Each structure stands twice: as C-alpha cells, then as structure tokens.
Amino acid sequence: MDCDARRLPKAATVEADLCIVGAGPAGIALAQALEPSGLEILLLESGGARPDPWSQALNEGPCSGDAYAGLRETRQRQTGGTAHLWNSPVGGELGAKYVPLDSGDFKPRSGEPDGAWPFERSALVPWHERAQALCGLGPFEYEGSYWADPTRPCLAVSDGMLQSRVYQFGAARIFTEAYLRTLRAARKVRLYSHATVCELRTDPARERVLEARVLAPAGVELRVRARRFVLAGGAVENARLLLLAELGNASGWVGRCFMEHPRDSALTLVPRDPGFAAAAPFYDLHRARDGTFVCGRLALDPEAMQAADLPNASITLLPRWGTASGPLAYRWARWLRGQSASFPPGHGWSSVAAPRGEPAGFQLLLNLEQRPHRDNRIVLASERDALGVPRAALHWRWREPEQRALERLRDRIAAAFETAGFGRVNRDARPVDPNAHHHAGTTRMHLDPREGVVDADGKVHGTQNLYVAGGSVFPSAGFANPTLTIVALALRLADHLARPD
C-alpha cells in the first residue's frame, strides 16, 4: 500500500512488526525479501515519487576539511534513494556498476582502526548470489577469464601486479520503479512517502526503541510503533539519527570513519601501437554472451598490494582526446585515415566501427579505496533544518599518508603498463576527486561494542530491537561500488529478522 504522509490527519499513530527507515536500495531489498514472511512492514521515505526541493533541502549540512561536493548533492530523498543519481549507461538507460568487495577488504590492514570485518567475504557468498538476481545481474562471477572470448580477450599483463576482472552493470529502474511497484501492491507492506523520521523514542533503560516520531509537511506528525526498527537511510542519516537518540555511541564510534571512493585521473596511457584500442575491447562496456552488461577492468594482485601496502583500486580504460605529436600522431592518423564516425569519450568506444578523431591515449581512471580514519566523521551541526532537527555536518579529509600511498600506486601501475609493452604512461599532478557518492562507515560493524556501533547482524550495540542496514555498517569499503554488498547484507539481515524472536 502506498500512502502520502502529507495527507494524513495532523496526528496519527500506526503500528507494525517492522519499521524500515529509508526506501533506497537497502530498505527496498530488505522489504522485498521480508514481504513473503507475513510481517507487517512499514517502509518510511523522507521524499516522494518525484524529486522534491523541499525534501532535498533537508540534506543540507556544512562540510569541513578538504573540498567535497556537499551533503545535499550526494544524496537523494526520494523513493528509490540514490539510485536516482546513478549515471552509468546500461543498454540505453542509466544504471550503475556492480562489483563485490575483495577478500582482502574484509581482513585487518595497517592503520587504526584496522578495518577488519567480523566475518570473511566467503561468508557472504550465499547472499551475494541472491543479490545478483535481485539487482538484475548475471552470475556471481567477476574474473575476467569467465567473461572473455576470442573477440574480446583479456590483455596479457605478466608482471604479477595487475589482473583482469569485470564490473557488471544494472539498470536503476529496478529500484526506482520495479520493486516499488511490487511493494506498493504487497498486502502487508505500507510505503509512506514524505515521512521524515526526526526522533527515536526509547524505554527508560534505552534498550528498546518504542516508537519513531515522524514529521511531514503541513504540520503532520506521525507516531510509528514497531517491534523492531531498521535504519536504512544511508551513512549520513543513519549516523544522524543515532547521534540524536544517543544510541550505540557508548564508545564514541557513531559518525566516525566516514569513507568515500575517490577517483584518480592522473595517469594517461599513450599506446605504442595504434592497434591498442582494437586489441582492448574487453575493457569497454559491452553485452556478454549471456546478455549481461559487463566492462573489463584491471585489478590489483592481492599479494602485491599487501606487500607494498597499497590502497585497493580498480583501473578503467577511457579514451582521451588532445593534440598528439611526432610518431604517435602519425600512427594514429594512419590508423584513422578514411574513418567517418566519432570516437566516443567514455563507454562505448569499442562499438564504433569507423571512429574519427585522434585519441591522444587512454585515461587510466582509478577507483580508489579510502581506509577508515576516526576523524573523518559525521557530527550534529548547530543549525537546524525546516523540521527543527539538527543538521548533519561532515568533516572529511584526504590525508598525506593516503596521497603518498596513491603516488606509490601510480608508480606501480605505470611500470606494469610500460613493462607489458602497451606504451608510455604520462602523469598529471591533479588531485583526487572524492565525489563518487559512496558514503560508508559511520555506524561500523564490530563484535566488540568498544570498537564499533553494530554487531555482525547489524543490531545496534546496547539495544534489543534496533538495526542498521546499508554502507554505514562497512568497517572498510575497498574501491568497490557498494550496492551489491549493501543488498547482500540487507538480504542477510532479512533472514535474521524473519526468524522467530
């Protein structure tokens, strides 16, 4: 059932078995998985079916430290959540890249905190496989050798530093349209839009959440009572609600270890051979033999990465234009002579049969890991939003040790490409771009309440009926687009919540 909270009486009370706060991919996957269980489910979303400037303004909040796009620009209050911001091409529509975290991302790394998860990556495989289907993807296979074929082979990189793997691509509408239709038609799921949770009210011992105070425009106030609550509002909002309620923060971890996925575009490959593009179509977005959209990428060898203490990263090949000179210009010109079509600037370059133009080379776009740091954090600001709630504030920095590690990584990648004979790698001094919109880490998972906010099931330490879903529970985030792991964890949590109390 679909309900616009703005049309409710000025004061109302609703009850359910489970209240999920946030109708983005995490909340949708959780509700979708639990719908057959017979539980009465409330799914609350601060926005509506369409973009709403009033709701979006609730995302405003100050940022300090290094330059960042902002808390309003990198989140979306709308049914479907930040899937509305996805911008990767998928068969003529917009979507996102999918990839799981690597095994090494789950293990202790240098630094404090060490970013270790309370379980191995292998423990998530059953839910990753289910997540693949829920996200409309192909099989849970991400090795390049599985997807390569004679027309699109993997490049030969033999120095042990790089390995060929893939991203899979999925359409945004599966979250922004398809599953929302299913949930609106479900008999025991009620989807409330324009319903902003402003307060979690607890028992005197602060062990159980009794109700959520929900506000909507036009002075509507809703009291939501449930046996269990799940925060699925993203890393910023999840932290803000816990800070407001003073829950899960006995050791001061709520809001800390905010992580993004910076992108680095400082490296450009100038191919030695003008036939490089024709030899590398595997590394462009394409439809695989089973119909799955994939794009080859180059990944770091885990042992080489660990030995050199490098950040995890993934390399995407994108054509670049510019003025080439000397032998390079001659070779490209000879290869392109007589061509009649343009060479696209991003994905799709391998599908152009007759490209026209003079690519100066290929940008080696790095998607980077940012390791957790206590001082990168969400706190409550002094200013309040239109509903009278303290805004979230972000302090984020890309620190000097991270930059030094990136420079070591650039050196190793350049050496690997040049050793393989692909060509020369040029380097710029440009800074990283932190604005991937991949918020993570502010309610980190740890078995010990002294070291984290939630346990291995996502339950907030010190509470009996409050859980958190989404990237905020990640102890570390690797380089990976987080949605696949977010959905896998939501399905895992659904299995936990479906069990009898």
Which DSSP string corresponds to 157-180? --SSSEEEEEEEEEETHIIIIIHH
Helix (H) or strand (E) holding 27: helix 25-34
- Region 153-178: mean pLDDT is 93
Q: Report CA Rg, the chain.
A: 23
Between residues 454 and 330, the one the model is more confident about: 454
Close Cβ partners of 307 (under 8 Å, ≥ 6 residues apart): none
Distance between CA atoms of residues 461 and 279, nearest Å: 53
Q: What is the pLDDT of residue 491?
A: 98
Check whether 207 has a pLDDT greater than 80: yes
Which sequence spans correspond to the domains of the chain? Answer: 1-86+172-260+373-398+434-501, 138-171+262-368+399-428
Tokens coding 70: 């902002």
Q: What is the pLDDT of residue 466?
A: 98
Query: pLDDT by residue (tens digit) across 432-446?
Result: 999 999 999 999 999
* Least confidently predicted of 65-79, 338-352, 454-468: 338-352
Pairing of strands 355-356, 341-342: parallel
Q: What is the pLDDT of residue 331?
A: 37
* Termini Cα distance of the chain: 26
Q: What is the pLDDT of residue 337?
A: 37
CA distances from 135 to 83, 97, 327, 377, 421 (A): 12, 11, 47, 30, 38
**% helix, strand, coil for the chain, step of 5:** 30, 30, 40
Q: What is the pLDDT of residue 355?
A: 58
Check whether 43 has a pLDDT greater than 70: yes
CA distances from 415 to 262, 403, 426 (A): 22, 18, 11
Query: pLDDT by residue (tens digit) across 286-296?
Result: 999 999 999 99
Amino acid at 155: L
Query: pLDDT by residue (tens digit) across 349-374?
Result: 787 655 555 466 899 999 999 999 99
Helix (H) or strand (E) holding 468: strand 466-468
Check whether 324 has a pLDDT greater than 90: no
pLDDT band for 336, please (50, 70, 90 cuts).
Answer: very low
Check whether 342 has a pLDDT greater than 80: no
pLDDT band for 52, please (50, 70, 90 cuts).
Answer: very high
Query: pLDDT by residue (tens digit) across 64-117?
Result: 999 999 999 999 999 999 999 999 989 889 999 999 999 999 999 888 899 999
- State the chain's mean pLDDT as an integer: 92
Tokens coding 370: 């940012």
Half-sphere exposure of 404 (CA within 13 A, CB side): 5
Describe the crossing of helices 483-498 and 125-134 by its angle, rounded to 10 degrees. Answer: 110
CATH 3.50.50.60 fits 1-86+172-260+373-398+434-501, yes or no: yes
Distance between CA atoms of residues 456 and 450, nearest Å: 14
CB-based burial of residue 10 (10 Å sphere; 0-12 exposed, 13-18 middle, 19+ buried)?
exposed
What three-state secondary structure class fits 199? strand
Q: What is the pLDDT of residue 106?
A: 97
Distance between CA atoms of residues 238 and 142, nearest Å: 30
Distance between CA atoms of residues 415 and 209, nearest Å: 55
Which has the closest alpha carbon to 128: 495, 501, 496, 489? 489
Q: What is the pLDDT of residue 429?
A: 84
What percentage of the chain exceeds 70 in pLDDT? 93
Query: pLDDT by residue (tens digit) across 139-165?
Result: 999 999 999 999 999 998 877 889 999
Check whether 332 has a pLDDT greater than 50: no
What three-state secondary structure class fits 309? coil
Query: pLDDT by residue (tens digit) across 412-422?
Result: 999 999 999 99
* C-alpha 79, offset from chain centre: 17
Q: What is the pLDDT of residue 344?
A: 57
Check whether 24 has a pLDDT greater than 60: yes
What percentage of the chain exceeds 90 in pLDDT? 82
Contact 492, 455 (CB under 8 A): no
Alpha helices by DSSP H, listed for 194-345, are 234-245, 276-279, 302-307, 326-336
Q: What is the pLDDT of residue 329?
A: 36
Distance between CA atoms of residues 239 and 254, nearest Å: 6
* Least confidently predicted of 254-258, 327-331, 341-345, 461-465: 327-331
Q: What is the pLDDT of residue 349?
A: 77
Distance between CA atoms of residues 117 and 488, nearest Å: 15
pLDDT band for 330, please (50, 70, 90 cuts).
Answer: very low
Residues belonging to the chain:
501
Query: pLDDT by residue (tens digit) across 114-139?
Result: 999 999 999 999 999 999 999 999 99
Query: pLDDT by residue (tens digit) across 370-391?
Result: 999 999 999 999 999 999 999 9
Which has the closest alpha carbon to 143: 164, 128, 125? 164
**Preceding amide of 401 cis, omega within 30:** no
Vertex 249 angle, CA 55 and 232, to 5°: 35
Pairing of strands 196-202, 209-216: antiparallel
Tokens coding 222: 């809703």
